[in-house]
Amino acid sequence: MTPARPLSLITGASSGIGAAFARHLAARGHDLVITARRTERLQELATELQVAHSTTVTVLPCDLADPAAVAGLCHAMEQRALQVDWLVNNAGYGVPGRFDANDWPVHADFLRVLLTAPTELAWRLLPGMRQRGYGRIINVASLAGHVPAPAGHTLYAASKAYLIKFSQALALENSACGVHASALCPGFTWSEFHDVTGTRAKMDKLPGYMWLTADKVVRQGIAAVERGDAVYIPGRVNRFIKTALQLMPDRLALRLSARQGTRYRDTEAH
């Protein structure tokens, strides 16, 4: 049974898809817990949503690269008697360049943010959802998790493929308990992501039809998890790309991915 005012936890909520999730869920009558590293951005978003929707927004900044971050975040929510009904695992970024060109601590931080943190958050929050008979878990994956991985940003596609399989298993294990899990797999989305990774100049050369807004991605993602879709790819072009590459022989698909990847990935040493 849907709570009168569901509580949503959104990671990486300071910008892009995370901030769009916060705005859409607040408009749907949710109270929010928002987290990211940039406290000032979170506070600005909280003020905006409180004024626009009279929603309660709890700001709990943290760095999910810290191995103790998830436990600390959940403890902070427990102290405030906050029970999470919607978990949006959105925090993420890319590490440009060749795999061996970056120091191991860089990769270790990435794996904690993209893999360990969303998995631990689901593990810690899922029992309460099952007990209450209601919950939604959205793992923001990527079209990259469905197609052959190009060179550069070596761990990104691999981490997104994990989130897709993780979401499928969660969906099968928990749907009978009123808990829906879904992997949301956008393609190119207008956000700060490519500015942070230093690939904006390359991305701007891609045709406009390849892009979706964060608002459109989020609207479709919310509808998908409510329907009980374990995996959802927003955008017809993205769904076509996924299907076309899956129908190709592996060698041809990998060759095509390698050629196209140079258009939008930094494959050089750093």
Residue 139, phi then psi, degrees to nearest 5: -100, 115
Distance between CA 266 and CA 196 in Å, rounded? Answer: 13
Q: Quick one: tokens of 33?
A: 């817990």
* 156 carries an active-site annotation: yes
Closest CA to 92 of 17, 182, 9, 177: 17
Strand partners, 140: 184
Closest CA to 140 of 73, 206, 187: 187
For β-strands 86-89 and 31-35, DSSP reports them as: unpaired
Q: Quick one: tokens of 2?
A: 């849907």
| Residue whose token pair is 């829906």 | 180
**C-alpha distances in Å from residue 4, one per residue of 26, 74, 89, 100:** 13, 22, 23, 50
Catalytic pick from 134, 156, 232, 264? Answer: 156
Residue 10, phi then psi, degrees to nearest 5: -125, 120
Distance between CA 225 and CA 237 in Å, rounded? Answer: 21
Strand partners, 34: 10, 59
Give me the active site residues, please.
156
